[in-house]
Amino acid sequence: MTHPAQPKASHFINGAYVEDTSGTPIPVVYAASGEQIAVVHAATPAIVEQALASGKAAQKAWARMTGTERGRILRRAADIIRARNHELSVLETYDTGKPLQETLVADATSGADALEYFGGLAGSLTGEHIPLGEDWVYTIREALGLCVGIGAWNYPTQIACWKGAPALACGNTMVFKPSEATPLCALKVAEILHEAGLPAGVFNVVQGMGEVGGALVTDPRVDKVSLTGSAPTGKKVYAAAAEGMKHVTMELGGKSPMIIFDDADIENAVGGAINGNFYSSGQVCSNGTRVFVQKGIKEKFLARLAERTGNAVIGDPMDEATSFGPMVNENQMNIVLGYIEKGKAEGARLICGGARCDMPGWYLQPTVFADVTDGMTIAREEIFGPVMSVLDFETEEEVVARANDTEFGLSAGVFTKDFTRAHRVIGNLEAGSCFINSYNDAPVEAPFGGVKASGVGRENSKEAIKHYSQVKSVYVRMGDVEAAF
């Protein structure tokens, strides 16, 4: 019997599911059991061509609709997603392995938020009038054209919506390629958008590995590329986009600092460290994986952290009591195990976890290392798994310098009761998305994105509109034209 997660076909192009089984098969393996639950096929050059051609052909008419009309479709899609949240959350869990306890509240719901938010903004995207005496300039905020979205595997529904919603609100069309590790959810997003009335060709989904992404990014019809992925992939995709002078948004990796001062509320700081390291089994780009704890509270913090981490309910992701699921796949589990071994070998003190769980599926124990020093591999490289590094510090000046001593700059958090210090420290940290006495909140109303090697551009909020539109300026002369001859 076909598994319920098996999609109707591999791709969604020009308003319909499309199959081409001559593409390389991409098996979809459920991370909690290791069983294959579905298969899709990578896009062949013919499929890539169909998707780009349909996106290109649909764009002008889509952009000519009023913003209110476009927004209504996006908001209708948000309503459908909310109505079908349970079913979509189950699919997200099959796609990623993340526990239903998370997917019910974080994935389809945040996708719906993006569709609702940008749907609401679509009708108010305007230019301005710039008076110049008798003459004037007016500006028109125009769509960029055809956009390519390329996703990572940790939030397949959310990433499709975070890219698709602002792109479509501005009058662009999109070809979206999910990660090969999680190909299922973006297809549902496309299906629901069309159920909500989206014209054919406006949002297309094609499957494939890096080479399909590469073919999309280098196509001359494409005006903008938005990637969520690792920094090394980001560098390649950014360079390829630059060849064609395309607009980009790069949402890349991080090694973000979380700074906990002696005066912090310990329970909140421990809660922030747990959320910022173990949610989605640590597969979150903005995670605060370098937890700097001021010396006075270090042992108290570690004791409480170990105690609360012991309360993680590791098990069947479909059981709503489960609070910690498997890694997305065996490969990622092995990468993370390699980092855990490096942490041990380089002399970090293992506080808890540190091994694979003795059960089927790709489960790792939530792992905390203390006495981590700045030069250790686990303090320098993005692990993308449930591995927290706790580092000690003494002074504010010292911790700010050490927190900034990384190529990355996605997020940063500070826990303290001294608000003057909190704002001063945040002001000095090189990061795009910051938190005070909290960690990893990502409401659609707030800009999200990184500095340094963590990326270019911002998703969410009104900022995203700037990254999916461009301004045309028009000078209007009321009098005669003066010419030299």
Nearest residue relative to ligand NDP (C-beta): 213
Exactly one of 251, 290, 364, 412 binds ligand NDP (CB under 6 A); which one? Answer: 251
Residue 107 binds ligand NDP, judged by CB under 6 A: no
CB of 484 to ligand NDP, least distance (A): 51
Residue of 52, 115, 170, 237 that binds ligand NDP (CB under 6 A): 237
Q: What are the φ/ψ torsions at residue 290 (nearest 5 degrees)?
A: -105, 100
Q: Figure out which of the listed residues 150, 167, 248, 391 binds ligand NDP, where binding follows CB under 6 A.
A: 150
Contact region with ligand NDP (CB under 6 A), list: 145-153, 198-206, 255-263, 298-306: 145-153
Rounded to the nearest whole angstrom, what is the least distance from the CB of residue 304 to ligand NDP in the complex? 28
161 is annotated as an active-site residue: no
Q: What's the CA gap between 231 and 105, in Å, rounded? A: 28
Q: Which two tokens stand for residue 411?
A: 């997020």
Among 24, 230, 373, 377, binds ligand NDP (CB under 6 A): 230
Residue 195 main-chain phi, psi, to 5 deg:
-60, -35
Binding ligand NDP (rule: CB under 6 A), the pick from 120, 127, 210, 244 is 210
**Identified catalytic residue from 92, 98, 116, 163:** 163
Whole-angstrom Cα distance, residue 338 to residue 342?
6
In angstroms, give the least distance from the CB of 253 to ligand NDP.
3
Q: Does 10 bind ligand NDP (CB under 6 A)?
A: no
134 is catalytic: no
Q: What is the CA radius of gyration of the chain?
A: 23
Q: Is 217 among the residues that bind ligand NDP (CB under 6 A)?
A: yes
Q: Which of the stretches 52-60, 172-180, 266-274, 461-469 binds ligand NDP when contact is defined by CB under 6 A?
A: 172-180
| Cβ(335)–Cβ(384) below 8 Å | yes
Number of residues that bind ligand NDP (CB under 6 A): 30
Asked whether the beta carbons of 155 and 442 are under 8 A apart, the reply is no
Distance, in Å, from the CA atom of 423 to the CA atom of 259, rounded to the nearest integer, reads: 13
Q: Which is closer to ligand NDP, CB of 54 or CB of 226? A: 226
Give yes or no for a contact between 107 and 182, defined as CB atoms under 8 angstroms apart. no
Residue 225 CA from chain centroid, whole number? 14
d(CA 157, CA 154) in angstroms, rounded, equals 9
| Antiparallel, parallel or unpaired: β 433-436 and 411-415 | parallel
d(CA 190, CA 174): 10
Which CB atom, from 15 or from 282, has the smaller least distance to ligand NDP?
A: 282
Residue 477 per-residue DSSP state: -
* Active site (annotated) includes residue 300: no
Dihedrals phi, psi of 478, to nearest 5 degrees: -90, -30
- Report the interface residues with ligand NDP, using CB under 6 A: 150-154, 177, 179-180, 209-210, 213-214, 217, 227-230, 233, 236-237, 251-254, 285, 382, 384, 410, 450, 455
Q: Which residues are catalytic?
A: 163, 251, 285, 459
